[in-house]
Each structure stands twice: as C-alpha cells, then as structure tokens.
Amino acid sequence: MQQIEAVILDWAGTVVDFGSVAPTTIFVEALKQAYNFDISLAEARVPMGMGKWDHIKTLGQLPEVSARWQKQFGNVMTDDVVDEIYRTFMPLQKAKVAEHAKPIAGVLDTLARLKGQGIKIGSCSGYPREVMEILVPAAANYGYKPDCWVASDDIAAGSRPGPWMALQNVQQLGITNVANCIKFDDSAPGITEGLTAGMWTVGIAITGNSVGLTEQEWLNLSSAQQKIAKEKAYDTLYQAGAHYVVDSLADALPAVQSIQAARARNQRP
C-alpha cells in the first residue's frame, strides 16, 4: 500500500511567524533605507514565497511599483539596483528573523502526530542560507527540529516557483515516491513548487501571507472581517492549485488523512 512518507513545510507563515511578518516588513524597510523609496506592506507581499533576490526583482516589476520607481528615478529598476537593495535587506533580515522563530500555536502538536505515524518532516524556505542559519537554531530552541531544511540559494537551478527545493528534500530524506509527499505552503509560488515537484499540496490560509496579519491583528478583526479575509485567502490558494486549504498547519491532520486515503487507492496528485 502506498502511504505518505514526508511532509515538506514552508517556514514563515506556515510553521513560524504568524502572518509571515518578518520578511514583508524588512522589504519595506530595505527599499526605504537603500533608495528612500516607499512601498506598502500589501505590495511587499505580492511576490512572497520566492527567493529574496527574485522577490525584490519581481517587486520592482509590479506595474504600480515600477511606475512610481520610474517617476522617482527616471528608469526601471535594474539588476544592479536589486543587488544593492538585497545587500541592504540581508543584515536587516538577519537581525529580525530570530524574533519570529516561535512556532505557530498547535503546529508542534500536529508535527508530533505526523512523526508518530512515521512521516518525515522536510522543509524549505524563500530565505537564503545565511538567514536560515539563524532561524533554524532559533526555532529549535522552541522545539521545532525538521529532519532537513533547504534554503533558497542552496540549489543552482533556482528557487520557487520551480520544484528544486522540494525535490532536494526528497533526496535528503530518501523518499521513494514524490506522490507520497505533501507540500504545505502559505504562498502561491510555494504551492506551484509542490505541484511541479509532483506532490500533493495544502495551502495555509489564516496564519500565512494570504491574510498577512499577526495573530493579535487577526484576533482584533470582527467575525465578519475574519470571514472575508479567510474566504479571500482560501480562494487565492485554491486558484494557485492547492489540493486542500486549511486555516493553519495546526488544523492539517484531516487533510493528511484524506491524502493518505487517496494514496491507499493508488491515486496520485
């Protein structure tokens, strides 16, 4: 019988950092520091899930951002400019990432249940290795210790939305069949990563980038506001191709059980 061998987890917004706050705020700060250029948090979130250099480049190509950039500087954002923003971004991100290393409520319990079923815990991130080398031990202090992790700049072929980080997990974990893996992610590029790697995919809605609020900000919303934000996040992730969408990784066990049942029938993603 086919059975789930591994889950491959994103980090910010999926396991740690409710609302995926750490990277987005730093993008805003980095552009302000490097070029005195303003972007909104909503704009900073649009390319979320990509490797951070690619994120900055894609951000500069967003029509409204590009138009403001050209009005302010007289030309488009070049790769040299992206390099400089990235150099500004990196120390800011490294200084902040450990502050957002605490696992989201209920996540560790879910992972313990999965491990108890013999399922391996893989992970990958849009963060580069020098950031991950700070985040990984900080999260370990809270009890999150995945069986492997892959950074966005570990793979020569590139990062999301390509499949390579997820497939590197497959190699490191010794997985026999990619259809026995589930990719969990709160961003569209991360869902595409799992799909192109041949895996089942589960979107993370409320705790992730699609809602984009801290836990306290989420709790401060009215029930009507929460309903609207949740529906929008679910729609975004299903449109990206997710097989299932859940509020949080803490709520993921029923989705895993459904996928396990599909594999028992020899169904593939």
Which sequence positions are flagged as catalytic? 10, 52
Give exposure, 132-164, as e/b (b: 16+ Cβ within 10 Å): bebbbebbeeeebebebbbbbbbbeeebbbbbb
Which residues sit opposite 124 in a β-bridge? 150
The sign of the CA dihedral 34, 37, 42, 48 is negative
Which residues sit opposite 25 in a β-bridge? none
